[in-house]
Amino acid sequence: MAAPPTAVENRLRTTEHIQSPVIAFEDVSIAFEANSVLEDISFHLNRGETKAIFGIAGSGKSTILKLAMGLVKPDSGRIDVLGNDITQMREEDLFELRRQIGMVFQESALFDSLTVRENVAFRLMEEHQISEEEIERRVRESLRFVELERTVDMFPSELSGGMRRRVAIARAIVTRPEILLYDSPTGGLDPVTSTTIIELIVKQRDVYKTSSLLVSHRLQDAFVMASHYFDRDKGRMLPLLILRQGKIIFDGDIHELAHSKDEYIREYIS
Amino acid sequence: MELTSPTDFAKDIVQSVQDYSLLAGRSLANLFRHPRYFADMMQQADLIGVGSLPIVVLTGTFTGAVLALNSAHTLERFGSLSLIGQLVSVGMVTELGPVLTGLMVAGRNSSGMASELGSMVVTEQIDAMRALGTDPTKKLITPRVISTIFMLFFLTIISDFVGLIGGGIVSSLMFGMDWHQYWSSAWQTLKFQDVFTGLLKPVLFGFIIATVGCYYGISARGGTQGVGRATTQAVVASSVLIIAVDFFATRLILSIFGYR
Cβ contact B133–A110 (<8 Å): no
The DSSP result for B19-72, as a single string, is HHHHHHHHHHHGGGSS---HHHHHHHHIIIIIHHHHHHHHHHHHHHHHHHHHHH
Q: What is d(CA A230, CA A201) in angstroms, rounded to the nearest whole number?
A: 10
Q: Which of A243-252, B38-47, B70-79, B140-149 has the lowest mean pLDDT?
A: A243-252
pLDDT tens digits, A155-198: 999 999 989 999 999 999 998 899 999 998 888 788 888 888 88
Model-level pTM? Answer: 0.84
pLDDT, residue B2, reads 67
Distance from CA of A122 to the nearest CA of B (A): 8
Q: Indicate the domain borders of chain B.
A: 34-257
Q: What percent of chain A has pLDDT over 90?
A: 45
Confidence bin at A7 (pLDDT 50/70/90) = very low
Cβ contact B133–A95 (<8 Å): yes
Q: What is d(CA B20, CA B205) in angstroms, rounded to the nearest whole number?
A: 16
Q: What is d(CA B181, CA B89) in angstroms, rounded to the nearest whole number?
A: 13
- Most confidently modeled range among A95-109, A190-204, A238-252, B76-90: A95-109
Closest CA to B205 of B132, B102, B125, B120: B102
Taking residues A22-39, report their average pLDDT: 91
Residue B195 scores a pLDDT above 80: yes
Q: What is d(CA A71, CA A199) in angstroms, rounded to the nearest whole number?
A: 28
B221 at interface of A, judged by CB pairs closer than 8 A: no
Q: Is B158:B57 a contact under the CB 8 Å cutoff? A: yes
Cβ contact B128–A109 (<8 Å): yes
Confidence bin at A15 (pLDDT 50/70/90) = very low
Distance from CA of A203 to the nearest CA of B (A): 22
Taking residues B51-76, report their average pLDDT: 92
pLDDT, residue A205, reads 87
Residue A21 phi, psi (nearest 5): -70, 140
Query: Residue A171: its chain B contacts at CB < 8 A?
Result: 132
pLDDT, residue B227, reads 94
B39 at interface of A, judged by CB pairs closer than 8 A: no
Q: Domains in chain A, please, with CATH? A: 23-219 (3.40.50.300), 233-270 (no CATH)
pLDDT tens digits, A58-74: 888 999 999 999 999 99
Closest CA to B152 of B98, B110, B194: B98
- Cα torsion angle, A22, A39, A55, A162, sign: negative
Distance from CA of A111 to the nearest CA of B (A): 6
Question: Rg of the Cα trace of chain B?
Answer: 21
SS3 assignment for chain A: CCCCCCHHHHHHHHHHHHHCEEEEEEEEEEEECCEEEEEEEEEEEECCCEEEEECCCCCCHHHHHHHHHCCCCCCEEEEEECCEEHHHCCHHHHHHHHCCEEEEECCECCCCCCCHHHHHHHHHHHCCCCCHHHHHHHHHHHHHHCCCHHHCCCCHHHCCHHHHHHHHHHHHHCCCCCEEEEECCCCCCCHHHHHHHHHHHHHHHHHHCCEEEEEECCHHHHHHHHHEEEECCCCEEEEEEEEECCEEEEEECHHHHHCCCCHHHHHHHC
Cβ contact B125–A128 (<8 Å): no
Residue B15 phi, psi (nearest 5): -60, -45
Q: What is d(CA A224, CA A222) in angstroms, rounded to the nearest whole number?
A: 5
Question: Which of A96, A98, A110 has the CB atom closest to B131's CB atom?
Answer: A98
Query: Residue A69: its chain B contacts at CB < 8 A?
Result: 130-131
Query: Residue A128: its chain B contacts at CB < 8 A?
Result: 35
- Most confidently modeled range among A54-63, B47-56, B67-76: B47-56
pLDDT, residue A19, reads 61
B178 vs A117, higher pLDDT: A117
Nearest C-alpha in A relative to B123:
A109
B114 vs B36, higher pLDDT: B114
pLDDT, residue B19, reads 94
B178 at interface of A, judged by CB pairs closer than 8 A: no
Confidence bin at A8 (pLDDT 50/70/90) = very low
Residue A10 scores a pLDDT above 60: no
B258 vs A38, higher pLDDT: A38
Query: Residue B132: its chain A contacts at CB < 8 A?
Result: 98-99, 122-123, 126, 171
Q: Is A225:A237 a contact under the CB 8 Å cutoff? A: no
Nearest C-alpha in A relative to B35:
A126
Dihedral angle of Cα B153, B157, B160, B161, to the nearest 10 degrees = -160
Nearest C-alpha in B relative to A180:
B131
pLDDT, residue A188, reads 79
B131 at interface of A, judged by CB pairs closer than 8 A: yes
The ipTM (two decimal places) reads 0.81
Cβ contact B127–A66 (<8 Å): yes
Question: Which of B35, B124, B129 has the CB atom closest to A107's CB atom?
Answer: B124
- Cα torsion angle, A258, A261, A266, A268, sign: negative
Query: Residue B130: its chain A contacts at CB < 8 A?
Result: 69, 71, 95, 98
Distance from CA of A120 to the nearest CA of B (A): 11
B128 at interface of A, judged by CB pairs closer than 8 A: yes
- Cα torsion angle, A225, A231, A232, A234, sign: negative
Distance from CA of B214 to the nearest CA of A (A): 18
Residue B210 scores a pLDDT above 70: yes
Taking residues A86-93, report their average pLDDT: 90
Q: What is d(CA B209, CA B220) in angstroms, rounded to the nearest whole number?
A: 17
pLDDT, residue A6, reads 47
Residue B55 phi, psi (nearest 5): -70, -35
Q: What percent of chain A has pLDDT over 70?
A: 90
Distance from CA of A95 to the nearest CA of B (A): 4
The DSSP element (H or E) to which B138 belongs, if any, is none
Contacts of A170 (CB under 8 A, 6+ apart): A120, A139, A142, A143, A145, A146, A148
Residue A9 scores a pLDDT above 60: no
Q: What is d(CA B166, CA B179) in angstroms, rounded to the nearest whole number?
A: 12
pLDDT tens digits, B132-144: 999 999 999 999 9
Question: Which of A92, A106, A123 has the CB atom closest to B132's CB atom?
Answer: A123
**B35 preceded by a cis bond (ω within 30 of 0):** yes
Confidence bin at A12 (pLDDT 50/70/90) = very low
B123 at interface of A, judged by CB pairs closer than 8 A: yes
Question: Which of B35, B124, B135 has the CB atom closest to A109's CB atom?
Answer: B124
Strands A21-32 and A101-104: unpaired
Nearest C-alpha in A relative to B137:
A92
Closest CA to B219 of B100, B82, B120: B120
Query: Residue A123: its chain B contacts at CB < 8 A?
Result: 132-134
- Most confidently modeled range among A182-196, A209-223, B111-125: B111-125
The average confidence (pLDDT) of chain A is 85
Q: Which of B124, B140, B141, B218 to mutate to test the interface with A (most CBs of A within 10 A)?
A: B124
